[in-house]
Structure 1
Amino acid sequence: MSDDNMEKAMADITNYHHQQPYAVHWGDGSTSSSDGVRVKSAVEALNASYNPHYGLEKGVTMYSAVSDQYSRFGVGVINTNSIDAIHIVDILLNHRTELEIEEHYTDTAGYTDQVFGLTHLLGFRFAPRLRDISDCKLYCIERKEDFKNIQSVIKGKINTKIIKENYDDILKLVYSIKKGKVSGSLIMGKLGSYARQNSLAKALTELDKIEKTIFILDYLSDEDFRRKIQVGLNKGEAMNALARAIFFGKYGMLHEKDIQGQLQRATVLSIIINSITLWNTMYLPKAVEKLKEKEGVDESLLIHVSPLGWEHINFIGQYNFDDSSDYNLIDNMRPLREIL
């Protein structure tokens, strides 16, 4: 299925659900989360390396994002020892879908201070689930003494002077990333390697402190915000579980040496995952209707139903990617099984 056909199918399913009296609705496409799946490499590849956390075999990481609508997008193949967080900007800017992401979630492994300021300037909100958040320190623009009740958690004062002095260069850098002149992962990797010697890196660090402080205050004071982050990350974990199940019965290995071949395999995996998601999304309302004929259904629970189940999916079969077929997904739905 081509990108165009996939987008058309997703639009058909969205319209179909909006016509239902009890439409199952998971999100509006404005939030997403990202996480990596470690895959072993059966051959010597430049981007494959050892990581003692995953055993004694070389491997790479398939790093991808999932939207609040359960669509997988922005997949990439990175070194398994690379910091996940530096690839977030690349995914959010280059996913080539109609999603308009406003807020993005990661776990602690996908977090680094550098991302806070850069994502803010690019128009996204970075919201990680931080481990040991009680150890995090806050920063202020005014005097530390002005915050008598929380002085113990204020580490220092923001250097607004260096931000002002380098702000034009910061905007030029952000514009270059936005227009694709340079990748966000490359910039964050470079700036992180010589932050002490570079005034631009220092200015970005001060911006990071501002955004991180605002985030921590929101995170601690807003229970709904914390729950929203956790829900987003749960969707990513469920998506990764489906990816492992599809990828050769949980024992998948990459046999491609070049990055292009690895990306091709990762992209096909995304297409299959999204196809299963679309299939389940189509049939869930029909299944609810059938259940209602037998017993009562608490419709308030439908928002907690995920389209990522696969117990009914046969992974051992034929995969047809024929673009020439004019198959109408909605008008050719299979009959449901009888409920015993």
Structure 2
Amino acid sequence: MWPDILRVVASIYTGTVRAYDVVTMLQREGHPTALGEAIAAYGRIFKSLHILAYIDVDETYRRDIKHIRNLQEGRHALARKICHGKKGELYHRYERGLENQLGVLGLVLNCVVLWTTVYLDAAVRQLKAQGYPVRDEDMARLSPFVNTQLGVHGAYTFLLPDLAPGAIRALRDPDAPDADDDEI
């Protein structure tokens, strides 16, 4: 059915047929037609090639995928912590309301990641300036999705600190003992 598949692709590409019409043509009474089955089988070829590459080829490919998955899981964990009111679940009666909630969550998440990135960079620069050994392997494992410093419960102030333009607040001394959780 390769010539038919090419004809469908060319028809969509040239705008002769709308994609919606092709989708309705590829199924009858909820079941795919022979052409629909052929297109689905063609799509499975690339999925199979990906799985074979993941299993058989290079271990760096698996490591890259694991790294990307870990980044995504870190982002999701941070989003769940920020959106703590209903256990990380969004409830709204209308689609528009859900879009607004997701948009605000994304904005707050991006602000937290930016804040964390700025302070991670400042902390690394301070450690290097003080002569602490900072290895590249350790730098590669730093993530802006850490959330141990986040306090999502309590009182918030939105007053800007009295800092010089472009300055950040003072960093904690790495040699100082950690503060107890009761003192925070």
TM-score relative to the length of structure 1: 0.41
CA contact (8 A) 2:82 2:152 kept: yes
Match for 1:210 among 32, 35, 45?
45
For 2:91 and 2:11, locate their aligned partners in 1 and report how far apart those are by CA, in whole Å: 40
For 2:4 and 2:39, locate their aligned partners in 1 and report how far apart those are by CA, in whole Å: 11
Structure with max Cα Rg:
2
CA contact (8 A) 1:288 1:297 kept: yes
Match for 2:70 among 234, 240, 263?
234
The equivalent of 2:99 in structure 1 is 263
Distance change in 2, residues 1:240/1:171 (3 Å):
farther
How far 1:287 moved relative to its partner? 0.3
How far 1:218 moved relative to its partner? 1.8
CA contact (8 A) 1:238 1:308 kept: yes
The equivalent of 1:299 in structure 2 is 136
How far 1:295 moved relative to its partner? 2.6
Residue 337 of structure 1 pairs with residue 176 of structure 2: no
Percent identity, aligned pairs only? 26
Instruction: Letter of the 1:216 partner, please give it.
Output: I
Distance change in 2, residues 1:309/1:175 (3 Å):
farther
- Across the aligned residues of Structure 1 and Structure 2, the Cα RMSD in angstroms comes to 3.0
TM-score relative to the length of structure 2: 0.71
Distance change in 2, residues 1:268/1:209 (3 Å):
same
The residue correspondences of 1:298-337 to structure 2 (distance < 5 A) are 298-316=135-153, 317-318=155-156, 331-337=166-172
Match for 1:246 among 82, 89, 106?
82
Match of 1:254, SS state, is coil
Q: Which structure would you say has the larger RCO, counting Cα contacts within 8 Å and 6 or more residues apart?
A: 1
Instruction: Letter of the 1:163 partner, please give it.
Output: W
1:73-116 alpha-carbon deviations (Å, 9 max, x no partner): xxxxxxxxxxxxxxxxxxxxxxxxxxxxxxxxxxxxxxxxxxxx
1:47-84 alpha-carbon deviations (Å, 9 max, x no partner): xxxxxxxxxxxxxxxxxxxxxxxxxxxxxxxxxxxxxx
How far 1:286 moved relative to its partner? 1.1
Instruction: Letter of the 2:8 partner, please give it.
Output: D
How far 1:236 moved relative to its partner? 1.1
Match of 1:334, SS state, is coil
1:134-171 alpha-carbon deviations (Å, 9 max, x no partner): xxxxxxxxxxxxxxxxxxxxxxxxxxxx1222213134
Q: How many residues align?
A: 159
For 1:242 and 1:314, locate their aligned partners in 2 and report how far apart those are by CA, in whole Å: 12
For 1:254 and 1:217, locate their aligned partners in 2 and report how far apart those are by CA, in whole Å: 37
How far 1:338 moved relative to its partner? 2.3
CA contact (8 A) 2:79 2:88 kept: no
How far 1:209 moved relative to its partner? 3.1
CA contact (8 A) 1:277 1:308 kept: yes
The equivalent of 2:162 in structure 1 is none
How far 1:306 moved relative to its partner? 0.5
Ranges in structure 2 where 5+ consecutive residues have no aligned partner = 159-164, 177-184
How far 1:231 moved relative to its partner? 1.0
